[in-house]
Structure 1
Amino acid sequence: MGKGTKGKGSQFCVIGLGRFGSSLAKELVHLGHEVLGIDRSEELVDDMSSLLTHTVCADSTDEEALRSLGIRNFDCCIVAIGGDIQASIMTAILVKDCGVKKVVVKAVTELHGRVLEKLGADRVIYPERDMGIRVAHQLVSPNLLDYIELSSDYSVAELSVPQCLSGKTLADIDPRKRYGCSIVAVNKPNGVIIAPKAEQVLEEKDIMVIIGTNDGIESFEKDVSER
């Protein structure tokens, strides 16, 4: 591990093997990448040893320990430490100093995130906050299957096609003109249609992937729900 990229897969290092870190690490392996998992807990490391490419019990706030693991050779390092904000910040600083190309850090609070951004983290993620936002949108919108905020103004949403839109084409609906949104894909039972044409016919239970402003997506979803 840490000696360059093998095949098409990238090499990731996940520091912190709690619920979020372990879930992330396992999914990266599932997607065909090599993953080194690091945690101070021998129990967590043992639990993940058969699931990841390699696991190590180490203190990520120890610079020498990180350097000895060849941390700088990884394509991306995810600092997924949850409970100890000081350890999270110290680890982020050390990983960045070691020369890792991309450093992604989990933040517990907005203040924690702002500190990480100022320290040069390439990306700060808020899994609990973001999941809360997605679940809230799904609960109040019956056709909404998933919701990902790209920025404060734009989002991507997955909407199931309601009965009122079944048999209509994208030209009939014209979401770009009416709502400022674009349907960039339609997931049908026999496969996904990327960049569907205006004459594409929608059928009930198809899944539309929509990109647009938050207000536009909300208006579109509200209108089709009320028909």
Structure 2
Amino acid sequence: MKQVAVLGLGRFGGSLVKEFYTLGIETLAVDKSIDKVNDFSDYATHTIQANTFDEFTLKQLGIRNFDLVVVSFGDDIEASVLTTLHLKEMGVKQVWAKAQNDYHHKVLEKIGADKIIHPERDMAKRIAHHVASEKIIDFIELSKDHSIVEIVASDKLHNKTLIDLDIRAKYGCSVVGIQSGEEVNVAPVADVVIKKGDILIVIGHNRDINRFEDVGV
């Protein structure tokens, strides 16, 4: 099982600790505030009060032994950058960092952060896509050009199979799952029958997904 360390217990970091707890993942939760450390003591395997931008402190925590370290205090850009830099230099396997803005993102990218997270921006995109289209109920950006979306099947798709629709050939995107009620069919076979109201989980280039949404659904 993975061992994870979350450095910074603000809204984002604290929420991560709680989710890891529900998933049974061993978590070290660290913050410079003793109040925040106490707030999450019931959810983390270990909680420690410390300033993690100090390299000696990180070594004392045995941070190099963790599979993943999340630097979640994006508001303090200097501390975020120094901590991420120390973690990479110490050879931590995976370092994920929360970015406050595009400049912060570029610096984290330069020093080798393995994944850079923009929680507010990512959530704003998901909400905006949902508002912009009645068909799209969720949107996850994979890269600048590729995404996964959940699209509600309309009358056009009712009682048709994936063979009938031939979505990959016509639109260039792929259906990787179909949710019908509470059941989710992952990697559906070509002759599965789609019903109105089913949720199609579609992956592909944004251009192709938009075309499928406009014409095919």
TM-score per shorter chain, which class? over 0.9
1:6 counterpart residue number: none
Q: Does 1:13 align with 2:9?
A: no
Note the C-alpha offset of 1:29: 2.1
| 1:78–1:105 CA contact under 8 A, matched in 2 | yes
Residue of structure 1 aligned with 2:29, choices 16, 37, 60: 37
The CA distance in 2 between the partners of 1:128 and 1:154, in whole Å, is 19
1:204 counterpart residue number: 196
Question: Residues 173 and 131 of structure 1: is their aligned pair in 2 closer, same or farther, counting only changes over 3 Å?
Answer: same
Note the C-alpha offset of 1:72: 0.5
Note the C-alpha offset of 1:224: 5.0
| 1:37–1:52 CA contact under 8 A, matched in 2 | yes
Note the C-alpha offset of 1:18: 0.5
The CA distance in 2 between the partners of 1:186 and 1:91, in whole Å, is 41
RMSD over aligned Cα atoms:
1.4
The CA distance in 2 between the partners of 1:169 and 1:64, in whole Å, is 60
Note the C-alpha offset of 1:55: 1.0
1:129 counterpart residue number: 121
Q: Deviations over 1:95-115 (max 9, x none)?
A: 222221111111111111111
Q: Deviations over 1:1-35 (max 9, x none)?
A: xxxxxxxx200000111111111121122222111
SS in 1 for 2:160: coil
Q: Does 1:172 align with 2:170?
A: no
Q: Give the alignment's TM-score, normalised by structure 2.
A: 0.94
Residue of structure 2 aligned with 1:106, choices 98, 103, 107: 98
SS in 2 for 1:103: strand
Which AA in structure 1 matches 2:8? G
How many residues were matched structurally?
217
1:56-205 alignment, distance < 5 Å:
56-189=48-181, 191-205=183-197
The CA distance in 2 between the partners of 1:44 and 1:205, in whole Å, is 43
SS in 2 for 1:209: strand
1:3 counterpart residue number: none
Structure 1 stretches of at least 4 aligned residues deviating more than 6 Å after TM superposition: none
Note the C-alpha offset of 1:190: 5.6
Q: Deviations over 1:161-218 (max 9, x none)?
A: 2233221111222211221111111122362222212211111222111111101111
Which AA in structure 2 matches 1:108? Q
Q: Deviations over 1:126-185 (max 9, x none)?
A: 111111111110111112121111112211111122233221111222211221111111
Q: Give the alignment's TM-score, normalised by structure 1.
A: 0.90
The CA distance in 2 between the partners of 1:13 and 1:204, in whole Å, is 44
* Identity percentage of aligned residues: 46
Instruction: Give unpaired runs (5+ residues) of structure 2.
Output: none
The CA distance in 2 between the partners of 1:88 and 1:18, in whole Å, is 13
SS in 2 for 1:113: helix
